[in-house]
């Protein structure tokens, strides 16, 4: 039976370290979070991020905008926040309405306040392993593995999913850590044959129960990045947890795995932004 990797506990450690540093150095740190529209999942994420700010001693600036707001109005708000000295980090919650260009929004955020690391220059720096702001979910995964004492060096790692937010940057970060990487996607042939080779298997496809036991190598480390709802409306990941846990050596739960680590890294990036701006 796999050992469960407790991302919630590791995230609490990181947030306590952030709070201690802010209090020790008497820092004023601020994070602005913008949400556009009424996406229920987005509202939950924003609420959780606000709670994280409270735990870390970070001031939270929340902007809830109607879904019909124009792109120009949204960009004007971002430009104002770029100039606001109280705000050290800016996060625009996704998804955004179809009439708003996500790339334009990301590129409007100041490079010094891009705590999600979504700008093109931030993505390019991940390629070289030289960056100020860490992509939150991939770095949360890497930090969780480090804290659990799991090395990726020399290991065969398979990433299922090639999104710009998780799959691609995670692959680069694993490569920078000397892992051997395969990235799978919807066009991959013989997917289960590829995933069964993995010493470490990462799933970020957003499909409940997508990874089954027959797709997993005995003793593999399985990291579930998915956030889904099952047929009963219960929160779950991409991995069929019960059956895969019987084969894996380590496994992350949903909830309580990658999600809390993602938000902890966001807090860490916001503190980094404050120090860079100072």
Annotation says 268 is catalytic: no
Residues sharing a CB contact under 8 Å with residue 17, sequence separation 6 or more, in sequence order = none
**52, 93, 168, 238: the active-site residue:** 93
Question: Which position has the token pair 């602005």?
Answer: 32
**15, 52, 113, 116: the active-site residue:** 116
Cα angle value 183/186/190 (rounded, 5°): 75
Closest CA to 244 of 185, 205, 196: 196
Beta-bridge partner residues of 91 = 33
User: Within the chain, how many helices (H) and strands (E) appear?
Assistant: 10, 11
**15, 49, 155, 268: the active-site residue:** 49
- b (16+ CB within 10 A) / e for 23-54: eeeebebbbbbbbbbebeebeebbeebbebbe
Annotation says 116 is catalytic: yes
Annotation says 59 is catalytic: no
Q: Please say whether the beta carbons of 152 and 171 come within 8 A.
A: no
Distances in Å between the Cα of 34 and the Cα atoms of 15, 31, 43, 124, 203 are: 22, 10, 10, 25, 28
Beta-bridge partner residues of 12 = none
Q: Give the catalytic positions in this structure.
A: 49, 93, 116
């Amino acid at each position: 039976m796999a050992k469960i990797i407790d991302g919630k506990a590791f995230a609490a450690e990181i947030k306590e370290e952030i709070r201690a540093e802010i209090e020790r150095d008497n820092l004023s740190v601020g994070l602005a979070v913008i949400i556009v529209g009424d996406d229920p999942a987005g509202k939950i994420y924003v609420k959780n991020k606000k709670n994280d700010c409270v735990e870390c001693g970070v001031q939270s600036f929340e902007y809830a905008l109607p879904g019909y707001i124009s792109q120009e109005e949204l960009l004007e708000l971002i430009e104002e926040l770029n100039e606001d000295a109280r705000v050290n980090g800016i996060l625009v919650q996704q998804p955004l309405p179809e009439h708003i260009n996500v790339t334009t929004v990301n590129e409007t955020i100041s490079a010094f306040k891009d705590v999600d690391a979504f700008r093109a220059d931030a993505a390019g720096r991940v390629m070289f392993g030289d960056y100020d702001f860490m992509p939150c979910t991939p770095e949360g995964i890497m930090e969780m593995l480090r804290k659990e004492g799991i090395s990726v060096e020399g290991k065969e790692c398979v990433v299922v999913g090639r999104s710009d937010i998780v799959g691609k940057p995670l692959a680069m970060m694993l490569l920078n850590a000397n892992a051997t990487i395969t990235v799978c996607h919807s066009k991959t042939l013989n997917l289960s044959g590829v995933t069964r080779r993995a010493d470490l298997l990462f799933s970020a496809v957003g499909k409940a129960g997508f990874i089954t036991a027959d797709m997993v190598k005995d003793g593999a480390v399985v990291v579930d990045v998915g956030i889904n709802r099952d047929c009963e409306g219960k929160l779950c990941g991409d991995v069929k947890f019960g059956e895969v846990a019987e084969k894996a050596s380590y496994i992350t739960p949903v909830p309580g795995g990658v999600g809390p680590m993602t938000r902890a890294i966001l807090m860490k990036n916001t503190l980094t932004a404050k120090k860079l701006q100072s």
